[in-house]
Amino acid sequence: MDVEVQDSGSGVETIELVAARNVLVEIPKGSGNFYNQGDVVSFTPPETNTITVYAEKADQNKTAYLVLEARDAAGNATVCDPVYTILSETVPVDFDLKQNYPNPFNPTTTIHFDVAAQTLVKLTVFDVLGREVKTIVNKDMAPGKYSAVWDGRNEQGELVAGGLYIYRIKAGRYTAVRKMVLLK
């Protein structure tokens, strides 16, 4: 991530690791060591307005976060925490579509799915004749674990009839299909 300060004319003077959990941080100034909470790394202003900071989760299965504070030579402080959500999730190794829960359901159900790489993800519900009922997700998504809720409504917002429905995910080259039952 790039850390920038408010006053672009005065350059970065210091970067402080304000808070961190389960993360190794490298601020490349001199030794390139890993830093602990409370460490302050000084720079010679106006060396640059942007410093690249590298962060890596120590344990991939635990939540991690990172908050940095950058100060410029004029004394302006900028709190930087853009890696909080990125580091909070374990990145899945494979794409996966889970069985919805609850199933059978009425009136709503939740569908969980894993995205292993940045890609366009489309999650669609079909009736038993193969007609598209509702597109729940249709967007570019970063790697992560996600869930989507279907409320038993079609694209027009109308409640659909009870019965068997199929949901399909397409994410890059990955495609999977599962069945669900809407009870009325």
Q: How many domains does one find in the chain?
A: 2
Examine the domain organization and report whether 84 and 28 are in the same domain: yes
Examine the domain organization and report whether 65 and 130 are in the same domain: no
Examine the domain organization and report whether 127 and 143 are in the same domain: yes
Question: 């374990």: which residue's tokens?
Answer: 90
Examine the domain organization and report whether 9 and 82 are in the same domain: yes
| Rounded-to-integer distance, Cα 109 and Cα 31, Å | 52
Examine the domain organization and report whether 100 and 178 are in the same domain: yes
Examine the domain organization and report whether 53 and 72 are in the same domain: yes
Over the chain, what is the mean pLDDT? Answer: 77
pLDDT digits (tens, 9 = 90+) for 136-171: 999 998 888 888 999 999 999 999 999 999 999 999
Examine the domain organization and report whether 140 and 172 are in the same domain: yes
CATH of the domain at 159: 2.60.40.4070
Examine the domain organization and report whether 25 and 67 are in the same domain: yes
Q: Flag whether pLDDT at 77 surpasses 70.
A: yes
Q: Which domain holds residue 8?
A: 2-88
Cβ burial of 12 (10 Å; 0-12, 13-18, 19+) is buried
Examine the domain organization and report whether 47 and 31 are in the same domain: yes
pLDDT digits (tens, 9 = 90+) for 83-134: 443 444 567 788 999 999 999 999 899 999 999 888 999 999 999 999 999 9
Helix (H, G, I), strand (E, B) or coil at 162: coil
Examine the domain organization and report whether 107 and 42 are in the same domain: no
